[in-house]
């Protein structure tokens, strides 16, 4: 089990997309973020912006060796 799965309740799926590991949670969550790095297919949806920020920071650090601040991520979160 990965660190993300253990700590955040997410699991990897095809194409590098991560979703909450909870069958009761709808795929239509209010907060969504897609990685802006070329060639990266990471996308996350979550119940809150705070959860998205946390998951994106983990992804950026472990996948791209980047450190992103909360405001940078929050500016790119889509709501729907």
> Model-level pTM?
0.66
How far, in Å, CA of 53 to CA of 17, rounded? 15
The predicted-structure confidence for 39-71, as pLDDT tens digits, reads as follows 999 999 998 999 999 999 999 999 999 999 999
pLDDT band at 19 (very low <50, low <70, confident <90, very high): low
Residues contacting residue 60 through CB under 8 Å, at least 6 positions apart: 35, 66, 67, 68
CA–CA gap between residue 8 and residue 39 (Å, rounded): 24
> Quick one: the chain helix, strand, coil %, rounded to 5?
40, 20, 40
């Amino acid at each position: 089990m990965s660190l993300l799965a253990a700590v955040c309740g997410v699991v990897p799926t095809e194409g590098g997309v991560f979703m909450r590991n909870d069958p009761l949670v709808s795929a239509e969550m209010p907060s969504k973020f897609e990685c802006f790095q070329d060639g990266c297919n990471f996308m996350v949806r979550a119940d809150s912006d705070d959860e998205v920020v946390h998951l994106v920071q983990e992804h950026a650090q472990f996948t791209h060796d980047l450190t992103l601040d909360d405001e940078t991520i929050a500016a790119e979160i889509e709501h729907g």
